[in-house]
Amino acid sequence: HVQLVESGGGSVQAGGSLSLSCATRGHTRRSGCLAWFRQVPGKEREAVAVIISDGSTSYADSVKGRFTISRDNAKSTLYLQMNSLKPEDTAMYYCAAVSRTGIWCDVRYWTSSLGYWGQGTQVTVS
């Protein structure tokens, strides 16, 4: 059974930085992929960044160059470093996990109907 617990959200001024963490339990590190999604009320949940078990990553165009996804296998933790934050980054941020690697391990193809999910952490940029 996979469990994901996000932390690190909060309020920050535009141009500032935040770092999100996601403690993962039950997710195998040898295969599959992990991701950060975000959602604002009234809109669909969108993939922000994905990292595959081999370390390769993909990012939404809106966050490229500002956000960095990483993982610490020893700590079973997924991270999202967010720099140069903008008001439009305001959202609930979720981490997600899929146990098998596949075409879905990419921001273009991973949808909110797939995988295990955390409860979310709120990020507010003003």
Neighbours of 20 (CB within 10 A): 23
pLDDT of residue 67: 98
Asked if the model's pLDDT at residue 31 lies above 80, the reply is no
Please report, as a single letter, which amino acid is at residue 7. S
> Can you give the pLDDT at residue 29?
64
Is the pLDDT assigned to residue 28 strictly greater than 80?
no
The predicted model gives 104-121 an average pLDDT of 92
Question: 11, 67 in Cβ contact below 8 A?
Answer: no
- Mean of the pLDDT values across residues 1-20? 95
Q: Hey, what are 121's tokens? A: 């952490």
- Residue 109 has a pLDDT of 92
Mean model confidence pLDDT for the chain: 93
User: Taking CA 18 as the corner, what is the angle to CA 12 and CA 76, rounded to the nearest 5 degrees?
Assistant: 150
Nearest alpha carbon to residue 125 among 10, 2, 3, 7: 10
Quote the DSSP letter at residue 75: G
Cβ–Cβ < 8 Å for 80, 113: no
pLDDT 10s digits, 45-103: 999 999 999 999 999 999 999 999 999 988 999 999 999 999 999 999 999 999 888 89
**CA-to-CA distance for 9 and 7, rounded, in angstroms?**
6
Res 30 pLDDT > 70: no
